[in-house]
Chain A
Amino acid sequence: MLETARQYRCSTLRPTELVDDLLARIRSGSLNAFITVDEAGAMRDAGKAEKALKQGSGDTLTGIPVAVKDNICTRGIKTTCASKILANFVPTYDATVVERLRNRGAIIIGKTNLDEFAMGSTTTTSTFGPAKNPWDETRTPGGSSGGSAAAVAAGLCAGALGSDTGGSIRQPASFCGITGLKPTYGSVSRFGLVAFASSLDQIGPMARTARDTAVLYDAIKGHDPSDSTSVPRGYPAIDLKSPDMNGIRIGVPDEFFAEGLSPEVALSVRRGISTFEGLGARIIPISLPYIRYGVAVYYIIATAEASSNLARYDGVRYGVRKEGSGDLTDMYMETRAQGFGAEVKRRIMLGTYALSAGYYDAYYKKASQVRVLISQEFEAAFTRCDLIAGPTAPVCAFGLDEMMDDPLSIYLLDIYTIPANLAGLPALSLPCGFSGEGMPVGMQLIAPHFREDTLLGAGMAFQDHTGFHEVRP
C-alpha cells in the first residue's frame, strides 16, 4: 500500500492502470474471494484519484484499492453477508469506515466472501461457495474474513477491511500469511457493520505489512456519534517508524502453548518470540488460567447476542421474503427457514436457548460473570507486561475436504483469539513462519486497551527484522 502510494507519487504507476489490472486478475482467478466486484465504480474512482494525484492534492490512500468484507454496508453496492436472506440487499448508506476510506480517496474495489453472517472460521458456510487459500487452493483461507485475507494475500487489492467477533480477522490473516488487526472495542465505528454479536464485533484492517495495516487503521479509527459504543477520546496517528523494542516486556502465557497446539505452529511462534528477545524485549512467563473457559463463554454470549440481532430478518423491511400458508408468523418462520443456512440456525437456536426462561442464569449470566474474570486476568497481566504473545490459531490452514463435521471442534479453533474479544483488547496477527507443507503460521500479539501504537509498532519492528511477510503465494 505504502509502496503503491510511492509508485503513484513518482508516476511509475497510475491508479487506472493498477485497478484495470486487478479487475482482470479477479475476473480470471478462482479463489472466490469476492462476492461482488464493483468494476464501474472502481474505474470511476481510479479516474478521480488519478486527477487528484496529477494536481498534487492526493494523500497516502488516494487511488489505493481496498476490498471490503460483505457484511459492511456500501451505498448502492450489494451487501449480502454471504446469506440467502440478504442476497438482494442494497444499502442506501455507507458504513462510517467506508465513508472514511472514500473521503481519503481510497477505491472500494469489491465486497469479499465470508462465512454466512460472519459465523464460522473457514469461509465455507457462505451461500456463494467457499473462498480458497491462495497458498493452496484445496485449503480454506480461514474465516470468517476469509475472502478479505485471500484477496490481500493474492495481491488482488492493497488492503482490506474485515470484522472480528472471535478471531475472524486474525485467524484468516494467520492462515493466509498476512497481517491483521482487531482494534480495541470502541475504537472503530460499527455503524454500517451488520451486527452479529454487538459487544464483541469490531471492524479492522488487513494488509501485507504492519505498516500498511497501521495506515488503514489510522484512516478508519476514531469516535463516531452514529455508534453509541464508539469511545470518545483522542486517537493519535500511529508512528510508522519502528520503535526500539529494548526493554519492552512481552508476556507469554503457558495456556497459549497447551494441548491441541500443532507442534509446527508452536515452533514458529517460539522462534518469533525469540526474535523479539533478540531485539531487546524481555520475555516474561505469565499465566492466564481463566482463558481456558473462553470458548464456552464466547459461544454463549455471541450466540445470545446473535439470536437477538438476527431477529430483524423477518422478510418485512429488507431481504428475501417467503410467504407461508397465510399468517404473519408463518411468513416469518418460512422466510427464516429458507433464508438462513445451517450454522446460522444452529447459533440462533443455541442463543435463544441460553436466553430462554429457566436457563438464563445458568448460561448467559454465568458466562457474563466469567467474562469479567477473564478481563480482570488480562488487566492484572498488563501490570507486568506491555504485550502478550502466542499463536493466533492452533493449526495452519487445512484442506476444504478435511472440514470437521462436529461444530464444537470448529469452535475450538478460536481458542486463542476469543479472549481478546471478550476483554475488548486490541490484537494483531503477524506472519512468523511456515509449516513443513509451506502453509503460513501466524503469531498473535495482544495489547492493553487503546495501545494499538505498541501493538503495531512491535509488528513493524518484527517485520523490519524478518522476511515472512514478504513471501508471496
Chain B
Amino acid sequence: MKITEPEVVHVARLARLKLNTGEVEQFQKDLNSILGYMDMLSEIDTTGITPVVHATNIMNVMRPDTIIGSQTLSDALSNAPKHKAGNIVVPKVIE
C-alpha cells in the first residue's frame, strides 16, 4: 500500500478539497494503482541528470518597462462571485 487513508485525508487538506468518505476510499484505491504503475521509473538510473522543468531552454524573459493598457475595475470584478464598493468580498479572515 503506497498511500494510506490518513495520507489521502492529509493530501486532500493540502489541495483544499473536501472529500466524503466514499471519495477518500475511491481515491486511495486509484492513487495506489497509479502510483504502483509509476514504480517502473525506479528501474532507471538517473544519477547526475539535471531535471528540466520545461521543454525549451529560454529563461528569465524580460519585457521593456512600458505602460500599456490594463483591465478596468468593472471588468476585473465582472466575474467575482461577491463584490462591494470595488472590492472582492470573502468570509472574515481576521477576528
Contact = CB atoms under 8 A, between A and B. Distances in A.
A272 to B, nearest CB: 27
B8 to A, nearest CB: 7
Given A336-B18, A345-B17, A186 B41 contact: no
Contacts of A330: 91
B17 A424 contact: no
Interface residues of A, number: 72
Q: DSSP class of B's interface residues: helix, strand, loop or mixed?
A: loop
A370 B11 contact: no
Nearest to A325: B91
Interface residues of B, number: 50
A30 interface: no
A185 B31 contact: no
A352 B14 contact: yes
Contacts of B78: 90, 92
A340 to B, nearest CB: 7
A279 interface: no
Nearest to B34: A408
Nearest to A199: B54
Interface string B53-80: 1111010010100000001000110111
A353 B3 contact: yes
B38 interface: yes
A307 B15 contact: yes
B40 A333 contact: no
Interface of A: 88-90, 92-93, 185-186, 198-200, 225, 228-229, 231, 290, 293, 295-297, 299-300, 307, 311, 314-321, 323-324, 326-334, 336-337, 340, 342, 345-346, 348-350, 352-353, 356, 363, 365-373, 375, 406-408, 411, 422-424
Interface of B: 3, 7-8, 11-12, 14-19, 23, 26-27, 30-31, 33-35, 37-38, 40-42, 44, 46, 49-56, 58, 61, 63, 71, 75-76, 78-82, 88, 90-93
